[in-house]
Amino acid sequence: MKKLTIIPAAVLAALAMASCNDSGHEEPGKAEAAKGDSVVNDKYLSQPLVSHIYTADPSAHVFNGRIYVYPSHDTATGTPENDNGDHFNMMDYHILSMDSVGGTVTDHGVALSVKDIPWGGRQLWAPDAAFKDGTYYLYFPLKDKQDVFRIGVATSNKPEGPFTAEKEPIKGSYSMDPTVFKDDDGSYYMYFGGIWGGQLQRWNNNKYDSAGKLRQGDELAVLPRIARLSADMKSFAEPVREIKLVDSAGNLFKEKENDKRFFEAAWMHKYNGKYYFSYSTGDSHNLAYAIGDNPYGPFKYQGIILYPVEGWTNHHSIIEKDGKWYLFYHDVQLSGKTHLRNVKVTELKYDADGKIIPIRAQK
């Protein structure tokens, strides 16, 4: 177990400047800020939580009064970069924890490794965690031996693990980026899915078609998925269904509306009794959100939470701790490379109407 402190901004800035950026999209802060945005006059909103390993896709939770972050563990394996994300070739998970935002961050070491997952093939992508009746559950996407993404579950009696994986993936699960939300009535729901390398475009009516194509611009965008979890937390209690994500007129987004449509990285939180479904728009690099009246939606698009940061991917989680709300996210400040990311956290604020105030890093 290693105790780590946040490293000085000046050191990180120097590191970032010395490295090349292969993110292939507009640098953060180039677009004009809109009225009402929360603008941070720095290329970086905040500093990496840890710098001894690369971490991404932070799913944060408060367990026993402490913040636990369940990230991907990015590794340089030399796998060439492509649109399927083969370069995100992760082998294990490390859980991070801290008493409070800004406090000392602990890396609890390897919590689960791909070699210990009996059904596993390759690529341990963005995980999430949940707690029920004394057991912690780690949910993770991984390609099976046929190279099809499935969602697995592993258990532990400690939030930081180590976790023991079930022998098979969750029956009926597919694609990636699972997140598990506990509603106030004690029901747990899994939201999941992601297009491109996440393979969601290959799934229609819960059936796999290896030739499934990405949608064309005028076609309706692929929708994220939901299923309520069974009491055992290791299976779906119902068939997987699509979640309707709609614009202010109630229309589903088309694929060409790629600055708003769902791509990956689902997260659910509740604020003032409303359900906030947030996600990444992927190839347009926004974190966006939509609001609904129940866990299944429909969810009406509201706007952007976080404008593009340095790097191709954008993936987040939202938690409340000690009366403040926080956005955990990642960028590539430490490496300048798409697949070697670092997790961060910044405060999240709402306006009086419950709208999230968009955050924009601006040089």
Q: Tell me which residues are annotated as active site.
A: 57, 264
Centroid of chain to Cα 162: 21
Q: Which residue has the tokens 């999240």?
A: 348
Residue 277 interacting with ligand FUB (CB under 6 A)? no
Number of residues that bind ligand FUB (CB under 6 A): 14
156 interacts with ligand FUB by CB under 6 A = no
Least separation, in Å, of the C-beta of 52 and ligand FUB? 19
Q: How far is the CB of 247 from ligand FUB (least distance, A)?
A: 23
Q: Tell me which residue of 153, 168, 163 sits closest to 95, measured CA to CA.
A: 163
Q: Would you state the torsion angle of the CA atoms of residues 323, 324, 328, 332, taken in this order, to the nearest 10 degrees?
A: -150
Q: Does 329 bind ligand FUB (CB under 6 A)?
A: no
Residue 10 in tokens: 């000046």
- Cβ count near 58 (within 10 Å): 25
- CB nearer to ligand FUB: pick between 130 and 266: 266
Q: Is 315 in the site for ligand FUB (CB under 6 A)?
A: yes
Of the two residues 121 and 247, which places its CB atom closer to ligand FUB in the complex? 121
Identify residues 199-258 at the interface with ligand FUB (CB under 6 A): none
Sign of CA dihedral 231, 234, 237, 243: positive
Binding mask 165-204 for ligand FUB (x = CB under 6 A): -----------xx----------------x----------
Per-residue x/- mask for ligand FUB, residues 118 to 147, rule CB under 6 A? -------xx---------------------
Calpha distance 96→65 (Å, rounded):
14
Nearer Cβ to ligand FUB (74/107): 74
Would strands 245-246 and 299-306 be described as parallel, antiparallel, or unpaired?
Answer: parallel
In terms of DSSP bridges, do strands 264-271 and 274-280 run parallel, antiparallel, or are they unpaired?
antiparallel
CA atoms within 13 A on the CB side of 69: 32
Name the 3-class secondary structure at 289. strand
User: Which of 16, 60, 265, 345 is the binder for ligand FUB (CB under 6 A)?
Assistant: 265
Contact flag: residue 313 with ligand FUB (CB under 6 A): yes
Task: Give the nearest distance from C-beta 148 to ligand FUB in angstroms.
Answer: 15
The reply to whether 23 sits near ligand FUB by the rule CB under 6 A is: no
Taking the complex as a whole, the smallest distance from the CB of residue 205 to ligand FUB amounts, in Å, to: 24
Q: Minimum CB separation from ligand FUB for residue 358, in Å? A: 20
Query: Within positions 35 to 74, which residues make up the interface with ligand FUB, using CB under 6 A?
Result: 56-57, 72
How far apart, in whole angstroms, are the C-alpha atoms of residue 269 and residue 317?
A: 9
CB of 90 to ligand FUB, least distance (A): 7
- Cα distances (Å, whole numbers) of residue 130 to 77, 106, 181, 186, 315: 30, 19, 8, 12, 18
Q: Does 262 bind ligand FUB (CB under 6 A)?
A: no
Question: Which C-beta is closer to ligand FUB: that of 165 or that of 309?
Answer: 309
Task: Between 72 and 302, name the residue whose CB sits nearer to ligand FUB.
Answer: 72
**With respect to ligand FUB, which residue has the nearer C-beta, 26 or 293?**
26
The residue (of 24 and 273) whose beta carbon lies closer to ligand FUB is 24
- Compute the distance between CA of residue 132 and CA of residue 187 in angstroms, rounded to an integer: 10
> Interface residues for ligand FUB in 71-110 (CB under 6 A)?
72, 85, 88
Q: Is 328 helix (H, G, I), strand (E, B) or coil?
A: strand
**Among 295, 287, 335, which Cα is nearest to 311's?**
335
DSSP 223-247: PPEEEEBPTTSSSBSS--EE--EE-
The 8-class DSSP code of residue 51 comes to S
Q: How far from 195 is each of 32, 223, 268, 272, 331, CA to CA, in Å?
A: 29, 9, 19, 31, 20
Rounded CA gap, 174 and 227, in Å? Answer: 11
Binding site for ligand FUB (CB under 6 A): 56-57, 72, 85, 88, 125-126, 176-177, 194, 264-265, 313, 315
